[in-house]
Amino acid sequence: MSTREWLLSEQPASRRQARLGQGYRTWLAFRGNWLAMVGLGIVLALIVIAALADVLAPYNPVTGGDLNTQRLLPPLSPGHLLGTDDLARDILSRLIHGTRLTLMVVALVALIATPIGLLVGTTAGYFGGWVDTVLMRLTDIVLAFPRLILALAFVAALGPGIENAIIAIAITSWPPYARLARAETLTIRNSDFIAATRLQGASSLRIIWKHIVPLCMSSVIIRVTLDMAGIILTAAGVGFLGLGAQPPQPEWGAMIAGGRRFLLDQWWVATMPGLAIFVVSLGFNLLGDGLRDVLDPKGRK
Amino acid sequence: MFDTANRKTLIEVKGLKMYFPITSGLLRRRIGDVKAVDNVSFTVREGETLGLVGESGCGKSTCGRAILRLYEPTAGSVMIDGQNILSMPSDRLRKMRPKMQMVFQDPQASLNPRMTVAAIIGEPLDEHTRMSGAEKLTRIYELMDQVGLNRDFANRYPHEFSGGQRQRIGIARALALNPKFIVCDEPIAALDVSIQAQVVNLLEELQDSLGLTYLFISHDLSMVRHIADRVAVMYLGQIAELAPREVLYAEPLHPYTQALLSAVPEPDPETEATRQRIILKGDVPSPANPPKGCNFSTRCPRVMDTCRVHEPAFREVAPDRFVACHLYNDGLPPRPAAAKPAPTKAPAARRKPAANRTTRKTTPGKTRKPTQQGE
């Protein structure tokens, strides 16, 4: 029996096989969507580049070359594919090393904000009453501020730096997940299988953890993936305003800020990191759309 | 019908009320109640099936759920084995949970779509026992055999099954902890007619082999006639009449029961032609604002003045026959002797009348053996 047959078996012999088979079927559906595959390709490329940054980058991202001869070289100059910036640093190398920062921001924000959002949303939705009122009004308050402004306020309070930028972005990005999780919970909590679990004597904690969270998970994952573009942009915005990554860290937003002064004459200094942000954001958006198509049962025909 | 009158009482419901508040305005002021279940009392004896019938929205399902304390009832008591589960603290209630389970109406909605069959059936075991993985699997297989599910399906997901098979999964889950009492909340209403008989027969077999007690909620009068030993008829949150099956179907006392039973079509064209339908006028009043006096007084063809003022008491007018109607304030009116069949027959003959009647019924109980698959 081939692996494929084993995965697609109608009579799985174990729970693990059933789960893997389910996953494989999802993958088959996902694979049919070529735009989503492009998105997945971009995201995977980002991860690979970040992992192999030291090998791939031709120059050191922090120390520049000769300031007399190598400043602001245009793209396709010999040895500098994407040109150099005002401190004679190779832009390609900085972009490659910048993937690490971008990936770190995205991953950490997702890891911090998703559990907060899930916890707040499912608790509010499941218990209802005043718990719901308090938690959701709190969510509304956070949502009432423009995200970038609130993140700036937090960074300003915590002090500039990439770690603080991550914390600030995470604090400002959980409310949409809480709302989503609450809306899902409201539809799930009155269903008969929750009644059946309550009849077995299961505690609220167990019901939320074992039934509600797994069922909210897919829509939250989709939302997080779609939000990653926004997270990258917010991180870039915070970096651009000088409150995120500090020089000489090769953060893309900060690179755009550095290139701003030469925008008219040496356009590539700001454009190259801008293109990188654009491509990666697009990749996450395409991936998120593709995931929604396969994971969200409501969209399925 | 076997003589359930001598059996021990397992469930005793007294004065059960389930009101859902209606609130309005900014401050959520309580402006009224939806009286979904209003002062309902009945008993269920060990090993019997009590049918609970009534039209949509009369509070049957709410009653069933309130008995199991899925809702917090407004008032009343439910004694199971002599313990009042409505006043019980939650930790003791949790220990009582295995005794009482429920089979739900919509088999699709009652199974978590992300769990495999084995996980669904095994969940109550996780909750209440400390079985090892292998013991649990043995028990899961045993339950699947009991409800006629192929063991090979243990690791499939609910969406891969047909409606009847899903209902079997729900039944297996309810059986996992060896309950005494099962509330069947319209377990067949969402199923194909051909599958209904299979599921009902499965429930009957399980009752015989495991000694279960059922509260069978349904709006299908012929199915209730097939499975129930005693039948309670609900109207607008209250029980109108409660009597042994044979008596109730042969001689309904309450005008509502009479109207309800007259609506059942007869498969025999000759009797169908002579069937007298009692057609009720008007709509069911809102349970938020029930009429004064008898709930049925607005539509009753035999309404009297007293009905509009005084609420009739629900009382025993003949042995084991309860009715809430002013027509029987002085007991049963004298009737021709034939009208009242003897309520006692040999205990073993319980299935017999059901089998004899299959030719007359719309829902036959022919296939006793549940098929393994392919529903």
User: DSSP letters of A250-283?
Assistant: --HHHHHHHHGGGTTTSTHHHHHHHHHHHHHHHH
CB contact under 8 Å between A201 and B97, yes or no, is yes
Q: What is chain A's mean pLDDT, rounded?
A: 88
Are residues A80 and A71 in contact, defined by beta-carbon separation less than 8 angstroms?
no
- What pLDDT, in 10s, does the model give residues A254-289? 888 888 888 888 888 889 999 999 999 999 999 988
Are residues B44 and B213 in contact, defined by beta-carbon separation less than 8 angstroms?
yes
| pLDDT computed for residue B368 by the predictor | 43
CB contact under 8 Å between B95 and A201, yes or no, is yes
pLDDT tens, chain B, 375 aa long: 455 556 788 899 999 999 998 888 777 788 888 889 988 999 999 999 999 998 888 889 999 999 999 888 999 999 988 889 888 888 888 888 899 999 998 888 899 988 889 999 999 998 888 888 899 999 999 999 999 998 888 888 888 888 889 999 999 999 999 999 999 999 988 888 888 888 999 999 999 999 999 999 998 888 899 999 999 999 998 999 999 999 999 889 999 999 988 888 877 888 788 878 888 888 888 888 888 889 898 888 888 888 888 889 888 888 889 999 998 887 777 655 444 444 444 444 444 444 444 444 444 444 444 444 444
Cα–Cα distance for residue pair B178/B175, rounded to 1 Å:
5
AA letter at B225:
R
Q: What are phi and psi of A125, to 5 degrees?
A: -65, -40
CB contact under 8 Å between A196 and B65, yes or no, is no
Cα–Cα distance for residue pair B61/B51, rounded to 1 Å:
12
- Tokens representing B204 are 């009957």
Cα–Cα distance for residue pair A206/B87, rounded to 1 Å:
23
- What is the arithmetic mean of pLDDT over A226-245? 85
Ordered alpha helix ranges (H), A129-267: 129-144, 147-158, 162-173, 175-189, 192-199, 204-207, 213-240, 252-259
Q: Left, alpha or beta for B54 (phi > 0: left; psi -120 to 50: alpha)?
A: left
Residue in chain B nearest A8 by alpha carbon: B156
Nearest to A148 by CA among A130, A125, A172: A172
Query: Three-state SS for A136?
Result: helix
pTM of the prediction?
Answer: 0.79
Nearest to A12 by CA among B176, B151, B135, B161: B151
- How do B83-84 and B100-103 pair as beta strands? unpaired
Q: What are phi and psi of A197, to 5 degrees?
A: -65, -40
| pLDDT computed for residue B335 by the predictor | 58
Chain B: closest CA distance from residue A134 (Å) = 16
Are residues A125 and A132 in contact, defined by beta-carbon separation less than 8 angstroms?
yes
Cα–Cα distance for residue pair B176/A148, rounded to 1 Å:
53
Q: Which residues of chain B have a CB within 8 Å of the CB of A215?
A: 112-114
Cα–Cα distance for residue pair B216/B171, rounded to 1 Å:
13
| pLDDT computed for residue A1 by the predictor | 65
Residue in chain A nearest B65 by alpha carbon: A195
B113–A contact, CB cutoff 8 A: yes
| pLDDT computed for residue A109 by the predictor | 92
Q: What are phi and psi of B298, to 5 degrees?
A: -70, -20
Q: In what order do the strands lie in the sheet with B9-24?
A: B29-45, B9-24, B75-80, B83-84
- Tokens representing B360 are 């007359």
| pLDDT computed for residue A29 by the predictor | 85
Cα–Cα distance for residue pair B131/B135, rounded to 1 Å:
6
Residue in chain B nearest A193 by alpha carbon: B110
The number of helices, as runs of H, and strands, as runs of E, in chain A is: 14, 0
CB contact under 8 Å between A196 and B102, yes or no, is yes
CB contact under 8 Å between B116 and A198, yes or no, is no
Secondary structure element (H or E) that encloses residue A4, with its range: helix A3-7
Task: Compute CA A237 distance to the chain's CA centroid, rounded to the nearest angstrom.
Answer: 15
- How do B100-103 and B181-185 pair as beta strands? parallel
| pLDDT computed for residue B4 by the predictor | 52
| pLDDT computed for residue B233 by the predictor | 94
CB contact under 8 Å between B112 and A215, yes or no, is yes
Q: Any idea what DSSP says for residue B359?
A: G
Q: Which of B111, B128, B157 lies at the smallest CB-CB distance from A22? A: B157
Q: Which residues of chain A have a CB within 8 Å of the CB of B114?
A: 214-215
Long-range CB pairs of B17-23 (<8 Å, 24+ gap) are: B17/B73, B17/B74, B17/B75, B17/B76, B18/B59, B18/B62, B18/B63, B18/B66, B18/B71, B18/B73, B18/B74, B19/B74, B22/B288
User: DSSP letters of B231-266?
Assistant: EEEEETTEEEEEEEHHHHHHS--SHHHHHHHHTSPP
- Find the chain A residues whose C-beta atoms sit closer than 8 A to any C-beta of B: 10-15, 17-18, 22, 191-193, 195-202, 206, 211, 214-215, 297
pLDDT class of A72 with cuts at 50, 70, 90: confident
Residue that the structure tokens 């509260």 belong to: B215
Q: Is the peptide bond before A248 cis (omega within 30 degrees of 0)?
A: yes
Q: CB under 8 Å to A257, separation ≥6 — which residues?
A: A239, A240, A241, A242
- What pLDDT, in 10s, does the model give residues A44-61? 999 999 999 888 888 888
- What is the arithmetic mean of pLDDT over A193-213? 90
| pLDDT computed for residue A20 by the predictor | 86
Q: Which residues of chain A have a CB within 8 Å of the CB of B111?
A: 193
pLDDT class of A21 with cuts at 50, 70, 90: confident
Q: Which residues of chain B have a CB within 8 Å of the CB of A199?
A: 68, 70, 97, 100-102
| pLDDT computed for residue B371 by the predictor | 44
AA letter at A3:
T
Cα–Cα distance for residue pair B135/B141, rounded to 1 Å:
10
Nearest to A128 by CA among A73, A18, A204: A204
Residue in chain A nearest B153 by alpha carbon: A11
Cα–Cα distance for residue pair A159/A45, rounded to 1 Å:
32
Q: Which residues of chain A have a CB within 8 Å of the CB of B140?
A: none
Q: CB under 8 Å to A190, separation ≥6 — which residues?
A: none
Q: How many CB atoms lie within 10 A of CB B305?
A: 10
CB contact under 8 Å between A200 and B109, yes or no, is no
Residue that the structure tokens 């899902």 belong to: A184
Secondary structure element (H or E) that encloses residue B11, with its range: strand B9-24
∠A233-A237-A238 over CA atoms, to 5°?
120
The mean-pLDDT minimum among A160-164, A245-249, B113-117, B363-367 falls in B363-367
∠A102-A104-A110 over CA atoms, to 5°?
105
B295–A contact, CB cutoff 8 A: no
